[in-house]
Structure 1
């Protein structure tokens, strides 16, 4: 956990560095290892050097999103995101260049910003080229009618993909009902009428007004040479003149809501959903940290109040929360997903009572401390990952200043119970609520006005924490990996592979695989293995479910458990100081799980709700049909592909006794594998594994489940999914090859040319030329 050593709000003085800056570039400030520069034309530049991974990520954020669109212009910011990839006179084939250089690039549009980003293996030539392309795209993109016309069907297809998702549409409808005047109520993708009838001169004017250096922030993170990057930024962006235009001042603020609102969405398929939305302060407001804590205190699973009062009491299959920190006052959403056919009235009543009863049921110190630990763990995870820290900073940039990323952390650390209680009582009131239902009520109570925040005033006394130590520059070549990796086998049979390397924040990632059974012994267990995997982190012989989650937060450790036929996989992300304790905690979960009956019922309800939703989803219907077509195995075989009805029946048939029997019969460390990479103490990890798993032997034999090629009869399968505007198409061809055949490289290259990249034949024909689909690809799957 990162601890602040300076009072938040104090502006750190710019430290003198032995660096020579290009003419026209000035150093602005440095906070916790992040350096800010400014070009004479106004471009803001953030450099985050981190050698812990051999990758570089570049993110260019334009301070423009759907909030800046005028009447008739909804979706314009998103359209520009698409059209920028259509090229310029200098770069006419953008996707082709990305593909040739191995760039994983894309763009995204939200309320306050538009991002263009790319990640790639650290390479100075690619980095220099990408910076040059970004600078050229800023002012020289075509934004032409012919490109708009060809892209229109793609954008329309993207709209229709969203229309297939009840929760996405309910989100848009609920937020639209919350905002009567402010543009946060407008969907980023835009109104169909505006998008389809967009005026190209207005779109070009929008581009020229907002795509300028004084309205952009360039963020480079990962492995790179800082001096060279500064020179390249000056070379490519510095030549762009500072615009003479003055950006319009946006002054619309949403009026205080004076009564509860509701919106109901009725469509085919899925399961009932409930959303309760509340206006909250802007991200820069000191009270927003309390909003973040409230999101976890109320919406977290399993410790949140909604989980305890809805999920555990079987009023809902699951609950969730979502807090949106924006440049202007934003919103918080709390919700519940119900089981198929479940009466929404009890869940609705419990949802609203829980959210709006904090005045009479105050928050406890324990709840606040737990929420702070979880939030700070998430912040630390983002900050220590060179590929995500840039994206996180871009959101703070959109909120008003990149240093809000750190200021909000300091505010969360400093949260007091009285502050969170005050914010809850002022915001979570009936008059400030908008209820959204997928399949409708309340009394007025005014909330205080939420003003725009003076970000500069909030940051005038801000100081950041000390910069973290630089991570090791490790070249991930096969030879280097082999040379560094320490391989061993424990007496019990567990194979161990450890690759110690210095990382930012002492991060370490590990995977534990338990292999067990064979095709005969694993037959006729139904969904029992799935239930076991879902229950293992829900309590042990000595720890409750909440205590496990609290311990994981305390250890700054993220954990996931999954299963496939014949194996159970545990994935860990932890820190050097906590890895040994994390291993011991995992051993408790695997060896002495509580397997509580009430939680089994919770897991069953969630799984059944998911099956019910999948029955009408085109992607899920098609995937299930493809798995079943030509499947030669009988019901009960682990390779058999069940129908949705059979999956439902199997879930309902799971018995706790069988779950316990499966655990005792199959799980052991006899055929296990453990691998870890990062800042780790090798002897300590070896000792921890021996202590935790050294006497965990299994008696049943293990053999890999054979999965031979099955010839499939030609067939054309069609399925109707009523009320779903977007269709899904898939083709499958069995091939008598394995990844050890001589033709393996040729097949992989052929697949890449056909449909694995942004310049593939499928992409160029179906997406770029015909505009028939938002996405198209091909892939090779090896069994």
Structure 2
């Protein structure tokens, strides 16, 4: 339940967590073969004013329920900035009839649930097995008018929210955005951060929060959307049975007028603060989301930053001025803004970048686009919209967004028609209208210092914690508050016939036909990950993957980009410890081009010197940003401490190691590690498997290894002899990120399923796990705490991660260690285990409604030599785990007296 939850179907942007959640419809454009988003939707307005949208999508036995309220930070009284977001947090604290954490209830139902607050709305959304829809409706209707708010709950959640806000302050991008937005809209809530400020949050009173709740949380100010495997008449009957019983308030709904916010005058803002790289943000005001110019602004956005062939990439990144560049449209109910931004490359000035952006805009305003440029942007918008709308939750969210903000769930269909009509003259006109220099708000972030990260460490002699840990929540107590609804038997997970085969050269392939949408997902993995940096030079594996699309024997980088982007195809390579992951997405008709391009870059990449040098400079900038980010730097220090120098999980790239890399190092690694017998490809989507098999043989059949395979040794790692604490101090940070880690297990370890359940119970859910219930919900010491483990072909670490204010860090660590001791001593209960099995099994089935998740799951299983049948057998394996096995997994893997603890960010002292 954060501001960072971003529905995937809408181009909603976030300024490092919470400065902005906008509702720009940047990816809306249909193909004639695809029905409009609003097709098949049944709209009903109940007698109490509640708007209900229902859409039957019978592609999987799941349903998305969304409840959106027409209230956000725009509705907040002066001096109460952030109260909408604070209320969102309290909505999980229970109701008068169910005085328990609602996250626990959603967990028990196996629902994927969350919430977010934006400028114009607040939304609560769930994806769950279809037979649990009635239970979710009962719970959401209950908290619409009966949320239980107490002074203690408010004080606890105020601490959590302040921790959240201070966490965003760790980011220079956020701090600059906050100043820029205040200058853009100085007299309007759009100029304030959605989550508020720590000062305002600290002053919230219970009467003020209750007043805001009763003023805006009412049926005539809400939209309920149900999409998925439902029968509309039955779904509407359930809504009437639950929400329909809530009376419409007698007092009229009062909401701020939708008058356009007054934009501030052109000005320049400069922040000189600790950081790692110069940042530029250029913002101009634009009209509301329903304005006719929005369609042209969306196309302009794609022209500027829609891939490698875009203007910003070519003029800023290919010239070496910027390490990254972006643009986006923020289109809200009453107004909005268009932002262009960049991170300067080493030794490059923000003034030069700003000048280049001005030249680009001047060119777009004066010279008509070519037909090819305009068509490319539109085709990218088409493909993005279709690909992002494959997910049931995404469709429900888009419908809710349209109805909540415009009063018309068909707004996307109308908007996409407008995009189709955009002309080159329209692009010139909007540039001339909105991008005059007298409208620019320019923000510059100049790093004042970037000292080396300081490390302090010492072994800790563990003692009993000074604070008491509460009793774990009894699942039977939670069950007593669940709606008494008879659920159907869980449907089986089916693989619908996964076809597997291996080419003569060793390349493994998995094919799964899914004709629910005219799209294809490609997921692949090459055993060429950063673990091999131990044999070469730290950074080689990452740079090799980053340069694959920089040119082949027959195509330049730009030609490759245009080949893909002209057709709306996405193809990316990312290096991780376990390998190089391949992600590809395309409309079904473009699958041949996707496969042909993949085959070309895997077999014929040339690594041109000029592009290599540019990627090397971007990598150096990225390393600087990593060292300024407590989340990433803390994880790095943990792993370097946990694993010895001769272990493949130990080395990380450094500026020195990256600067020492030459183009020939990439070529050597490419020839040794990129080989068919170390590659797996998975395709899920709308295709003819016979034709695809033939095409794969044609494209990849002649690919042969060029050298002997690389070989790695993974030494056995033991936990430290005693718990070791390190404080990685980073200048200018207000929130601490802490990791507690120990060696874990690999995927084929017989304890894997027991460890999954143990992790789920311990910290797998921020609100429903033991750690979340105690450290976050009861003690209010952290915005978020969770546990996770990395288990693939090789064993990775088991980790607990939490975010705290510096003054709470030691107490939170101590409380965590105390909870671990008590959990090891007392163990989990049979009731907890049964609840975890149900939750994980239900969540697993819900996730598999997404074709991208299916593709990644099949790939992950294949990469550790598990058969396709694991897709169906996973839940049965969980069910077979015993309580003794789960408790033993905890005792085997997490010993509070033998951990590595790393806190990154502010200086803290920890004395257990």
TM-score, structure 2 as length reference: 0.75
Cα 1:492/1:244, change in 2 over 3 Å: same
User: Alignment partner of 1:243: what SS?
Assistant: coil
Is 1:696 matched up with 2:724?
no
Q: How big is the shift at 1:728?
A: 0.9
Equivalent residue, structure 1, for 2:11:
none
Equivalent residue, structure 2, for 1:619:
631
Is 1:767 matched up with 2:776?
yes
User: Alignment partner of 2:269: what SS?
Assistant: strand
Is the 8 Å Cα contact of residues 75 and 255 (structure 2) preserved in structure 1?
no
Is the 8 Å Cα contact of residues 529 and 542 (structure 2) preserved in structure 1?
no
Question: How do 1:519-538 residues align onto structure 2 when only pairs under 5 Å count?
Answer: 523-538=535-550
Which segment drifts farther, 606-615 or 59-68?
606-615
Cα 1:704/1:34, change in 2 over 3 Å: farther
Is 1:77 matched up with 2:87?
no
Cα 1:755/1:163, change in 2 over 3 Å: same
Is the 8 Å Cα contact of residues 532 and 712 (structure 2) preserved in structure 1?
no
Looking at structure 1, the residues matched to 567 and 354 of structure 2 have their Cα atoms a distance apart, in angstroms, of: 36
User: Alignment partner of 1:779: what SS?
Assistant: strand
Equivalent residue, structure 2, for 1:19:
none
Question: How do 1:340-359 residues align onto structure 2 when only pairs under 5 Å count?
Answer: 340=346, 342-359=348-365
Looking at structure 1, the residues matched to 355 and 785 of structure 2 have their Cα atoms a distance apart, in angstroms, of: 44
Equivalent residue, structure 1, for 2:909:
none
Cα RMSD after superposing both structures: 2.7
Equivalent residue, structure 1, for 2:457:
none
Cα 1:521/1:65, change in 2 over 3 Å: closer
Which segment drifts farther, 425-434 or 577-586?
577-586
Looking at structure 1, the residues matched to 241 and 225 of structure 2 have their Cα atoms a distance apart, in angstroms, of: 16
- One of 36, 55, 61 as aligned partner of 2:62: 55
Is the 8 Å Cα contact of residues 177 and 262 (structure 1) preserved in structure 2?
no
Equivalent residue, structure 2, for 1:108:
116
Equivalent residue, structure 1, for 2:297:
291
Looking at structure 1, the residues matched to 696 and 369 of structure 2 have their Cα atoms a distance apart, in angstroms, of: 40
Equivalent residue, structure 2, for 1:242:
248
Looking at structure 2, the residues matched to 528 and 517 of structure 1 have their Cα atoms a distance apart, in angstroms, of: 9
Is the 8 Å Cα contact of residues 301 and 319 (structure 1) preserved in structure 2?
no
- One of 175, 182, 192 as aligned partner of 2:181: 175
Is 1:40 matched up with 2:50?
no
- One of 329, 351, 355 as aligned partner of 1:323: 329
Question: How do 1:495-644 residues align onto structure 2 when only pairs under 5 Å count?
Answer: 495-503=508-516, 505-515=517-527, 523-564=535-576, 567-634=579-646, 638-642=648-652
Looking at structure 1, the residues matched to 629 and 33 of structure 2 have their Cα atoms a distance apart, in angstroms, of: 51
Q: How big is the shift at 1:690?
A: 0.1
User: Alignment partner of 2:743: what SS?
Assistant: coil
Looking at structure 2, the residues matched to 64 and 378 of structure 1 have their Cα atoms a distance apart, in angstroms, of: 29
User: Alignment partner of 1:542: what SS?
Assistant: coil
Q: How big is the shift at 1:744?
A: 3.9
Cα 1:221/1:709, change in 2 over 3 Å: farther
Is the 8 Å Cα contact of residues 642 and 742 (structure 2) preserved in structure 1?
no
Cα 1:134/1:586, change in 2 over 3 Å: same
Is the 8 Å Cα contact of residues 518 and 705 (structure 1) preserved in structure 2?
no
Is the 8 Å Cα contact of residues 766 and 776 (structure 1) preserved in structure 2?
yes
Equivalent residue, structure 2, for 1:756:
764
Q: For this pair of structures, how many residues does the alignment match? A: 717
Equivalent residue, structure 2, for 1:3:
31
Equivalent residue, structure 1, for 2:432:
425
Is 1:686 matched up with 2:693?
yes
Q: How big is the shift at 1:317?
A: 1.3
Looking at structure 1, the residues matched to 395 and 204 of structure 2 have their Cα atoms a distance apart, in angstroms, of: 35
- One of 746, 755, 759 as aligned partner of 1:747: 755
Looking at structure 1, the residues matched to 772 and 193 of structure 2 have their Cα atoms a distance apart, in angstroms, of: 27
Equivalent residue, structure 1, for 2:731:
722
Looking at structure 1, the residues matched to 575 and 437 of structure 2 have their Cα atoms a distance apart, in angstroms, of: 44
Is the 8 Å Cα contact of residues 35 and 47 (structure 1) preserved in structure 2?
yes
- One of 475, 482, 494 as aligned partner of 2:507: 494
- One of 260, 264, 289 as aligned partner of 2:270: 264
* Residues 28-47 of structure 1: per-residue CA shift (max 9 Å, x gap): xx932333222121111122
Looking at structure 2, the residues matched to 397 and 493 of structure 1 have their Cα atoms a distance apart, in angstroms, of: 52
Is the 8 Å Cα contact of residues 4 and 410 (structure 1) preserved in structure 2?
no
Is 1:778 matched up with 2:787?
yes
Q: How big is the shift at 1:703?
A: 6.8
- One of 380, 388, 391 as aligned partner of 1:385: 391
User: Alignment partner of 1:732: what SS?
Assistant: strand
Looking at structure 2, the residues matched to 743 and 354 of structure 1 have their Cα atoms a distance apart, in angstroms, of: 57
- One of 679, 682, 695 as aligned partner of 1:675: 682
Looking at structure 1, the residues matched to 55 and 548 of structure 2 have their Cα atoms a distance apart, in angstroms, of: 39
Looking at structure 2, the residues matched to 765 and 567 of structure 1 have their Cα atoms a distance apart, in angstroms, of: 37
Looking at structure 2, the residues matched to 700 and 566 of structure 1 have their Cα atoms a distance apart, in angstroms, of: 20
User: Alignment partner of 2:120: what SS?
Assistant: coil
Is the 8 Å Cα contact of residues 266 and 439 (structure 2) preserved in structure 1?
yes
Is the 8 Å Cα contact of residues 55 and 119 (structure 1) preserved in structure 2?
yes
Q: How big is the shift at 1:763?
A: 0.8
* Residues 552-599 of structure 1: per-residue CA shift (max 9 Å, x gap): 344443222123457433222223322233211211122222423222
Cα 1:521/1:317, change in 2 over 3 Å: closer
Q: How big is the shift at 1:130?
A: 0.8
Is the 8 Å Cα contact of residues 517 and 702 (structure 1) preserved in structure 2?
no
Cα 1:5/1:727, change in 2 over 3 Å: closer
Q: How big is the shift at 1:615?
A: 1.4
Looking at structure 1, the residues matched to 785 and 507 of structure 2 have their Cα atoms a distance apart, in angstroms, of: 42
Q: How big is the shift at 1:99?
A: 1.7
Cα 1:393/1:649, change in 2 over 3 Å: farther
Q: How big is the shift at 1:338?
A: 1.1
Q: How big is the shift at 1:686?
A: 0.2
Cα 1:489/1:522, change in 2 over 3 Å: farther
* Residues 353-374 of structure 1: per-residue CA shift (max 9 Å, x gap): 4334544444443332222122
User: Alignment partner of 2:741: what SS?
Assistant: coil
Looking at structure 2, the residues matched to 571 and 761 of structure 1 have their Cα atoms a distance apart, in angstroms, of: 35
Is 1:664 matched up with 2:671?
yes
Cα 1:317/1:151, change in 2 over 3 Å: same
Q: How big is the shift at 1:668?
A: 2.6
* Residues 7-40 of structure 1: per-residue CA shift (max 9 Å, x gap): x9xxx9xxxxxxxxxxxxxxxxx93233322212
Question: How do 1:403-422 residues align onto structure 2 when only pairs under 5 Å count?
Answer: 403-422=410-429
